[in-house]
Amino acid sequence: MAAGLLAVLAVSCTSGSADSPKSTAGTSPPVEERSASSELQSDYMRVVNDVLPSVVEITTEGGLGSGVVYDKQGHIVTNAHVVGEQRRFTVDLADRQQPLQAELVGRYAANDLAVIRLENPPSGLRPATFADSKEVEVGQIVLAMGNPLGLSSSVTQGIVSAIGRTVSRPADGGSAPGSIPNMVQTSAAINPGNSGGALVDLSSRVIGINTLGAVDQRLGGAAPGIGFAIPSSAVTRIADQLIEDGRVTSSGRAALGVTVRTVLETDSAPAGAAIVTVAEGGAADEAGLRPGDIITNLGDTRISSVQTLAEALAAHSPGDKVSLTYDRAGSSHTVRMTLETLRSP
């Protein structure tokens, strides 16, 4: 991956009045200020020393990404879009010169998560500590660690800007477009190559896996200061299942038990999500839905495409009872149904 960097230094200058009665040049900040600043700096350095050895660089045929050491057996959690469709990878640990080989354990594209495993885990491997996502609060200071633009072991800082965001993601790494619920929004810079790295609190705990930065839809470029991470509780729930079974059966996410495609009006405007297949015994099957039915509403939400259906489902949990409206042969019908759990394909 080739990357160009442009460094810009901005200097702010203020000038006082020539006849000001008192100059402040050389004045030291109060002792309390210096003490608070030194304490915060010490916290940053402690967290970096604690966690950065657990953050790795993953090399694939498509480029570079990041990952976080999950356990002493050599499991590493990262993003599904980092591993793509590959099964073998090269991994660089932060404290080793020689790259290591790893293989895919499993991937869960719906939450953009994957687990890989080092073939020969070295002694002294340092797994990260994962926090409980319920403890994450807006305003707390966080550090993002990863390998942005191929710059190994980089650290940026910011705060938790929001929690509980549902974020749409584009098709990437062999994954279809979709939505990820309950994400952590942060002002810490998340750039290409940071994907799969750690978002960490000042207690040296991973609160999320860095995944993507926001894009300004009008200008088409990155929106500075808006990044998103998959919350740690979702990461551990899914990673544990991938390690144990190689697949996810309890995602915490709702599903209909169908595959769908977007259908268009004659003027090419999206008109709904057409059902392609119905899983036998699933929620849609029990509700009487068939291939060819076109979903137009889920509850009060208008469904115009695969993406809007994914976003609507992301707001629900398995077991929720919802009304679903669909068109069949030109007639509109509404059914009441119970949502099932989204599983690995």
Residues designated catalytic:
81, 112, 195
Instruction: Give which of 233, 228, 201, 194 is closest to 213, Cα–Cα.
Output: 228
At 314, is the secondary structure helix, strand, or coil?
A: helix
Using DSSP, how many helices (H) and how many strands (E) does the chain show? 5, 21
Which residues share a beta bridge with 277?
259
Instruction: Give which of 207, 196, 148 is closest to 173, Cα–Cα.
Output: 196
Phi and psi dihedrals of 185, rounded to 5?
-95, 135
Rounded CA-CA distance 281/303 in Å is 24
Phi and psi dihedrals of 74, rounded to 5?
95, 10
> Cβ contacts of residue 244 below 8 Å, gap of 6+?
none
Q: Encoding tokens for residue 154?
A: 């980089």
Q: How many residues would you count in the chain?
A: 345
Contact 190, 227 (CB under 8 A): yes
Rounded CA-CA distance 329/277 in Å is 17
Q: Where are any strands of DSSP class E within 171-266?
A: 178-186, 198-200, 205-215, 222-231, 254-255, 258-264
Question: ∠ CA 341-270-255 to the nearest 5 degrees?
Answer: 5
Q: Encoding tokens for residue 328?
A: 């069949």
Which residues share a beta bridge with 184?
229
Rounded CA-CA distance 25/19 in Å is 15
